[in-house]
Chain A
Amino acid sequence: AQRVTQPEKLLSVFKGAPVELKCNYSYSGSPELFWYVQYSRQRLQLLLRHISRESIKGFTADLNKGETSFHLKKPFAQEEDSAMYYCALSKSGSRLTFGEGTQLTVNP
């Protein structure tokens, strides 16, 4: 069965500091992995997907199949990055399995 684990429920950093949100997954096939973000009082929205290898809002995430990880990173955190972040896995291209989420707080 597929599973997504985000070990940190809460993560607090100062503005300008690097931030890394951890995500590990278990899946026997070739997964498609995503990061979703939910800002305060807003709906869930896609931040980035691993197959695009893109950087959105300064965030990047690299799929490490050896470590079965898809950690989200940003070199310099901003206050507006404060939000709930969910790592998600898809095995069939549509059905998503979400991790527990990490609440990121960027302090001034």
Chain B
Amino acid sequence: GAVVSQHPSWVICKSGTSVKIECRSLDFQATTMFWYRQFPKQSLMLMATSNEGSKATYEQGVEKDKFLINHASLTLSTLTVTSAHPEDSSFYICSASPPEGARFEQYFGPGTRLTVT
């Protein structure tokens, strides 16, 4: 089956620094990738939709200058949290959709736990 990986699985950084999270589709090409954020005991909130070769589409309320998304290839999307603050601490999850087959198929990564101190 389709596999999506994320790296790192967890990261601790100091306030004011930037952190990059990678999302890779391992055995399929993903024209579209999604980035979600999940707070403890809460649901997944879509942050942005990342399309290969074009700018990401951000959801309302998500700062595009703070959460930089790059989808440079069909197998890789990155999310960079710039000038991180403790309130950015969360679980970040990506998903990827293959171009063929069911258009609603999304395969999820294992998530990245970000802690900002």
Contact between chains at A96 and B108 (CB < 8 Å): no
Given A95-B34, A97-B46, A98-B44, the answer on whether A90 and B111 have CB atoms closer than 8 Å is: no
- A100: interface (CB < 8 Å): yes
Interface stretch, picked from B18-26, B70-78, B79-87, B97-105, is B97-105
Tally of A interface residues using CB under 8 Å: 20
With the chains together, A34 CA to B93 CA distance in Å?
18
Known: A44-B93, A94-B97, A95-B49. A49 touches B104 (CB 8 A): yes
User: How many inter-chain contacts with C-beta < 8 Å in the A-B complex?
Assistant: 45
| CB atoms of A86 and B44 under 8 A apart | yes
Residue contact B111 to A94, C-beta cutoff 8 Å: no
> Residue A62 at the B interface, CB < 8 A?
no
A96 with B110: in contact, given A44-B44, A86-B43, A86-B44 (CB under 8 Å)? no
Contact-size category for B = 20 to 34
B15 within 8 A of A: no
- Contact of A96 with B46 in the complex, beta carbons under 8 Å: yes
**Using Cβ atoms and an 8 Å threshold, which residues of chain A touch B103?**
93-94
Contact with A along B35-72 (1 / 0, CB 8 A): 00000011111100100000000000000000000000
Please list 24 pairs of residues, one from A and one from B, whose beta carbons are closer than 8 Å in the complex, sorted by A's number: A9-B41, A34-B104, A42-B110, A43-B4, A43-B93, A43-B110, A43-B111, A45-B108, A46-B105, A46-B106, A49-B104, A86-B43, A86-B44, A90-B104, A93-B103, A93-B104, A94-B34, A94-B97, A94-B104, A95-B46, A96-B34, A98-B44, A101-B42, A101-B43
Residues of B within 8 A of A (CB): 4, 32, 34, 41-46, 49, 93, 95, 97, 103-106, 108-111
Smallest CB-CB A-B distances: 8 pairs: A93-B103, A44-B108, A43-B110, A100-B43, A98-B43, A98-B44, A43-B108, A93-B104
Q: Chain A: residues with CB nearer than 8 A to chain B?
A: 9, 32, 34, 42-46, 49, 86, 90, 93-101
